[in-house]
Structure 1
Amino acid sequence: MKNYRHGKRGVDLLHDPLLNKGTAFSDHERTVLGLRGLLPPRIHTQAEQVTRVLGSLRRKTSDLEKYIYLIALQERNEALFYRVVTDHLDEMMPIIYTPTVGQACQRWGHIFRRSRGLYITAADRGRIMTLLRNWPYSDVRMIVATDGERILGLGDLGANGMGIPVGKLSLYTACAGIHPAQCLPIMLDVGTNTQSLLDDPLYIGTPQKRLRGPEYDDLVEELVRAVQQMYPAACFQFEDFGNANAFALLQRYQDRICCFNDDIQGTASVTLAGLYSAARLSGVRLADLRILFYGAGEAGIGIGDLIVEALAAEGVGEAAARRQCWFFDSKGLVVRSRTDLVAHKQRFAHDHAPATDLTAAITELKPHALIGVSGMAGAFTEPAVRAMAALNPRPIIFALSNPTSKSECTAEQAYTWTNGAAIYASGSPFAPVTLDGRTHVPGQGNNAYIFPGVGLGVIASQATRVTDEMFLSAARTLASLATDRDLAQGRVYPELARIREVSSAIALAVAGIAFDRGLTRQMRPADLPALIKAHMYQPDYEEYI
């Protein structure tokens, strides 16, 4: 029996989602904790509660209704919520995260029930520390913050983007076991430039145009400094910032604080893992792989940078490694003669004639892999995909844009247009495709394979920095867990049901780097796997008395 330490009883206990067990409180607990009469008399096990939740959930007629139902469950009983999600991850992840979270963010002000996380505005300049003190939990270890400017592939949703930090942190807990009380979602509400939101009377954010320039930078700086003072052991994740701010913030802070940008580094890691697995299927080594990216924003450039790191580890020189990565943006092929390239694109600008047609670029460059990170639905046309198939026995087609509605091509299109030869992965889930009697299972290049494990490794080791080496190691670890059976089905990632195993393995690799590189003040434990396991929250009910 565990000691009753939290001090809450009666209605206060039932209203605390971290402590509430609902009808699972025992008869003795109901007497001692002042719950008798406040609950129906019959006592149910957590397993019986899960059955009730699944029944109610599956009767909902839309994914958005399911999302609202699950968030309401999370707000009243976190252990039950995470038990449902953890045990049924294949079914729940598309609801609590992409693609449904995109719909939820678009309608955030209209479906708003109860506030989660912290909202910080430009008007809070000079008092951010006071706002942090309002947060009820003191041992925060993982923070996900966004300013809502680039939510998935949906653009500037302003304060409506709070659904992303909330959803990401839910995956930290479900996929890697980081305790919910250690997670803090933050919305840095600096306005929005989306006119439809500014005109919406139910929009929950500050109805003004976006803050830019030094005032914006100063606000972020105050937030970072306040977090360091208030939560010195926390890891800070930048999420869904616009391209210019995303690169600038990562460059400014990655060597100062424990932080990373999942859109840049997490996406890079999961994509690199997919390429490692695809190499096993195609027979073309990573060192020989020529890649064409459609989209040259934070995701694409982040992937390119990590591929360069991976190739360097295999002995390929930096210039040659960059030459294997080609980019195609909204104005065509990224080539050195262009005068409109921002800094992060220039390092991948090569000598080549300009090209504004994707299919023509494929024919000229002869890539082994085509990676979509553009947010442009249908950008991989039938001629483009067929051109890839004409060049490669096993063309690698990764359509990674989220949500599903923004995917560059569907799984069915990729398999059909290549006669089943494509090695396909997407950002959001697609169902298996049967073609000529063979079933192809598309891989989902979901960052949830990477960031929860990285976060767990950082927390367990108390790392002071998050490095590119950690994301490279995470990619190798993830790829190593794709089985021959996975690959035989066409899936370049392990089954999602193994996500806690994946996260644990990645955490072990990340923590090992932290200890090996002196990125922690802690002594390396004799049993590192035991340390990782000890930090993994299990959504089981405690006995309070």
Structure 2
Amino acid sequence: MSLSVSRVTTSRAQKQERAESISGSGCVFIYTELLVCIAEESVESGYSLLRDPQYNKGLAFNEKERDAHYLRGLLPPIVVSQQLQVKKLMQSIRNYEVPLQKYIAMMELQERNERLFYKLLIDNVEELLPIVYTPTVGEACQKYGSIFKRPQGLYISLKEKGKILEVLKNWPERSIQVIVVTDGERILGLGDLGCQGMGIPVGKLSLYTALGGVRPSSCLPITIDVGTNNEQLLKDEFYIGLRQKRATGQEYSELLHEFMTAAKQNYGEKVLIQFEDFANHNAFELLAKYGTTHLVFNDDIQAGTGIAELIALEMAKQTKAPVEETRKKIWLVDSKGLIVSSRKDSLQHFKKPWAHEHEPVKDLLSAVKVIKPTVLIGSSGVGKTFTKEVIEAMTSCNDKPLILALSNPTSQSECTAEEAYTWSKGRAIFASGSPFDPVEYNGKTFVPGQSNNAYIFPGFGLGIVISGAIRVHDEMLLAASEALAGQVTKEIIEKGLIYPPFSSIRKISAQIAASVAAKAYEIGVATRLPRPENLVKYAESCMYTPVYRNYR
């Protein structure tokens, strides 16, 4: 049999479709120059290989690979190690003084050399996490239209109504396991950023891979563009989204329903869909509507009142008391003051379980004075609400007040680390959503913790994937929280911290994944059988590692 080879450029999607069409024929087709079959994987060659971020290694291609893949002359003669590449890039990134410049450099690296991007991020996670995630990603979203160069995910707008399944098929990867989707209406604490909210799904999925070990090729960032009510963006000549007011009501619901239906049809019922930065009025409705039919969760609203509910559930579990009773130990304050039973008729449905018997209290400071809480958690997205008077009130009724200022980005934090330590005279145990530098106070150095959801969702997603779970239950979120708490040692607590260091996040994520998977098997939503004997080792074995592989 003769084999003729044509020198043509083939897209990854076309290659995959071609492989699928011949995979059952019993024949092996070998395409030289552009396609080399290695361990059931097709790798481009020549100039195309250097432009493919999934396989490009830059100067790390060795001599044999350069010959095999037609790279002679396309690279300088030196061959370097991946570790030297990491060292060079970190030196380059540290030379930038502006965090947004560092963010752009990281995104350009991700578009150029995927494995090197993740190697850099994993090896320098504590330094680079604030760059690729909060707080810098917030500024990146605000300026996304100006810095936009290449699409990093799928944009589904009202223009695609009736064609969403076709749009999903345009994405080059077929085996998608995790989708992070936003409609951009409530990006961090910055409000409606419309189509430019894409930076959040991109950033989150980078962490699913770097921190949780979910393969990057199985991650898909999506922005649903239904317009924006941000007048500044609508007037911005560089804005990349639809220039119209937000669609609402039936038009909005129909587009979201078409997307959810198409995602399940195209990727199967085991694709995890994380709703991200939707406004509350849509977020609660979407989670309620699709929580029983799709594999979905939302760590924004399964924060907030969700935090309260999980704390109440854990208290009930540990004390054997009914959850109705443990809820009474938790008090909520909103813009109108303490949530109490006399306000019940005017409250949103998700606040009603927290409306306890008490006289009305108009503000946070007054609430702290009368309730005397031991823990103060901020998750409203409104900055500077933990004032000097509030922190002093917390300190007056607690020897070690726990202050959690969780709102992002840094500008929306309820207070800074320096404020918490200074106003409490060094007695506060402080953690925040965005990172803060260590604080010197009264001759002592305080290292603030970062209460970042990046501790949880990457490992949580890995646990979902390795168990083949088909639904998300609160017990699985609780299992993830318990696993994280289990990683906090006595030594960590003695340092005034309540979270383990991010430097060990991959180990932490494996523990979380194992706990989530175990709970999925326990409650009967896991489909990957038989259950592995050691879920921690199994999770570790499934985690993506970004070291270079030899293609020849």
Work out whether the TM-score is over 0.5: yes
What residue identity is the alignment partner of 2:115?
A
What is the aligned counterpart of 2:404 among 398, 404, 410?
A: 398
Which residue number corresponds to residue 226 of structure 2?
190
CA distance in 1, matches of 2:409, 2:505: 20
Aligned-pair CA distance for 1:484: 1.7
Which residue number corresponds to residue 532 of structure 1?
539
Aligned-pair CA distance for 1:3: 4.3
2:180 counterpart of 1:144 = yes
Which residue number corresponds to residue 388 of structure 2?
382
Aligned-pair CA distance for 1:455: 0.3
Secondary structure of the corresponding residue to residue 537 of structure 1: coil
Secondary structure of the corresponding residue to residue 455 of structure 1: helix
Aligned-pair CA distance for 1:258: 1.0
* Sequence identity percentage: 50
What is the aligned counterpart of 1:263 among 300, 325, 329?
A: 300
Secondary structure of the corresponding residue to residue 347 of structure 1: helix
Q: Which has the larger radius of gyration?
A: 2
What residue identity is the alignment partner of 1:221?
H
CA distance in 1, matches of 2:323, 2:119: 46
Which residue number corresponds to residue 306 of structure 1?
310
Aligned-pair CA distance for 1:533: 1.9
Aligned-pair CA distance for 1:2: 6.0
Aligned-pair CA distance for 1:190: 0.8
Which residue number corresponds to residue 325 of structure 2?
320
What is the aligned counterpart of 1:81 among 114, 117, 133?
A: 117
CA distance in 1, matches of 2:511, 2:97: 37
Which residue number corresponds to residue 451 of structure 1?
457
| 8 Å contact from structure 1 (residues 2, 543) kept in 2 | no
What residue identity is the alignment partner of 1:252?
K
Residues 222-266 of structure 1 show CA distances to partners (whole Å, capped at 9, x for unaligned) of 11111111111311100000011111111111121111102123x
| 8 Å contact from structure 1 (residues 439, 489) kept in 2 | no
What residue identity is the alignment partner of 2:532?
P
Unpaired runs of 5+ in structure 2? 1-36
Unpaired runs of 5+ in structure 1? 266-298
Aligned-pair CA distance for 1:376: 1.8
Secondary structure of the corresponding residue to residue 145 of structure 1: strand
2:24 counterpart of 1:18 = no
Which residue number corresponds to residue 21 of structure 2?
none
What is the aligned counterpart of 1:227 among 255, 263, 282?
A: 263
Secondary structure of the corresponding residue to residue 86 of structure 1: helix
Secondary structure of the corresponding residue to residue 454 of structure 1: helix
CA distance in 2, matches of 1:382, 1:59: 36
Secondary structure of the corresponding residue to residue 143 of structure 1: strand
2:526 counterpart of 1:517 = no
Residues 473-496 of structure 1 show CA distances to partners (whole Å, capped at 9, x for unaligned) of 111111111122211111100001
Aligned-pair CA distance for 1:515: 1.6
CA distance in 1, matches of 2:363, 2:516: 41
Secondary structure of the corresponding residue to residue 66 of structure 2: helix
Secondary structure of the corresponding residue to residue 191 of structure 2: coil
CA distance in 2, matches of 1:165, 1:153: 16
CA distance in 2, matches of 1:301, 1:156: 21
RMSD over equivalenced CA pairs, Å: 1.3
Secondary structure of the corresponding residue to residue 6 of structure 1: strand
Aligned-pair CA distance for 1:302: 1.1
Aligned-pair CA distance for 1:417: 1.0
**Within-5 A mapping of 1:364-443:** 364-443=370-449
Residues 492-540 of structure 1 show CA distances to partners (whole Å, capped at 9, x for unaligned) of 0000101001100000001111122221222212333332122101001
2:493 counterpart of 1:487 = yes
Secondary structure of the corresponding residue to residue 440 of structure 2: strand
Aligned-pair CA distance for 1:179: 0.8
What residue identity is the alignment partner of 2:314?
A
Higher relative contact order (CA 8 A, sep 6+): 1
What is the aligned counterpart of 1:30 among 48, 66, 91?
A: 66
Which residue number corresponds to residue 104 of structure 2?
68
What residue identity is the alignment partner of 1:411?
A
What is the aligned counterpart of 2:339 among 302, 313, 334?
A: 334
Distance 1:4 1:312, change over 3 A: closer
What is the aligned counterpart of 2:135 among 96, 99, 121?
A: 99
Secondary structure of the corresponding residue to residue 452 of structure 1: helix
CA distance in 1, matches of 2:186, 2:203: 15
What is the TM-score when the length of structure 2 is the normalising length? 0.91
Secondary structure of the corresponding residue to residue 337 of structure 1: helix
Distance 1:4 1:55, change over 3 A: farther
| 8 Å contact from structure 2 (residues 466, 528) kept in 1 | no
Which residue number corresponds to residue 27 of structure 2?
none
Secondary structure of the corresponding residue to residue 205 of structure 1: coil
| 8 Å contact from structure 1 (residues 3, 544) kept in 2 | no
| 8 Å contact from structure 1 (residues 2, 542) kept in 2 | no
What residue identity is the alignment partner of 1:77?
N
CA distance in 1, matches of 2:494, 2:515: 27
CA distance in 1, matches of 2:118, 2:198: 20
| 8 Å contact from structure 1 (residues 193, 210) kept in 2 | yes
Which residue number corresponds to residue 468 of structure 1?
474
Aligned-pair CA distance for 1:4: 7.8
What residue identity is the alignment partner of 1:499?
I
Residues 69-92 of structure 1 show CA distances to partners (whole Å, capped at 9, x for unaligned) of 000000010100000000000000
| 8 Å contact from structure 2 (residues 517, 526) kept in 1 | no
CA distance in 1, matches of 2:505, 2:447: 17
Which residue number corresponds to residue 204 of structure 1?
240
CA distance in 1, matches of 2:334, 2:235: 31
Which residue number corresponds to residue 151 of structure 2?
115
Residues 107-150 of structure 1 show CA distances to partners (whole Å, capped at 9, x for unaligned) of 00011111110000112111100000000011110100000011
Q: Which moved more, 1:327-336 or 1:25-34?
A: 327-336
What residue identity is the alignment partner of 1:300?
G
Residues 438-487 of structure 1 show CA distances to partners (whole Å, capped at 9, x for unaligned) of 22221111000000001001111111111111111111111111122211
| 8 Å contact from structure 1 (residues 386, 418) kept in 2 | yes
CA distance in 2, matches of 1:520, 1:318: 26
What is the TM-score when the length of structure 1 is the normalising length? 0.92
CA distance in 2, matches of 1:5, 1:322: 53
Q: Which moved more, 1:98-107 or 1:246-255?
A: 246-255
Aligned-pair CA distance for 1:384: 0.8
Which residue number corresponds to residue 214 of structure 1?
250
| 8 Å contact from structure 2 (residues 189, 409) kept in 1 | yes
What residue identity is the alignment partner of 1:441?
V
CA distance in 1, matches of 2:251, 2:321: 42
Q: Which moved more, 1:45-54 or 1:67-76?
A: 45-54
Which residue number corresponds to residue 6 of structure 1?
42
CA distance in 1, matches of 2:306, 2:243: 32
| 8 Å contact from structure 1 (residues 5, 544) kept in 2 | no
Residues 131-190 of structure 1 show CA distances to partners (whole Å, capped at 9, x for unaligned) of 000000111101000000110010110011000000000000110111110100000011
Which residue number corresponds to residue 155 of structure 1?
191
CA distance in 2, matches of 1:357, 1:312: 29
What residue identity is the alignment partner of 2:271?
A
Secondary structure of the corresponding residue to residue 140 of structure 1: coil
Residues 391-444 of structure 1 show CA distances to partners (whole Å, capped at 9, x for unaligned) of 111111111100111111111111111111111110001112122222222111
CA distance in 1, matches of 2:278, 2:237: 24
CA distance in 1, matches of 2:272, 2:361: 42
Aligned-pair CA distance for 1:312: 2.1
What residue identity is the alignment partner of 2:305?
I
Which residue number corresponds to residue 8 of structure 2?
none
| 8 Å contact from structure 1 (residues 110, 202) kept in 2 | yes
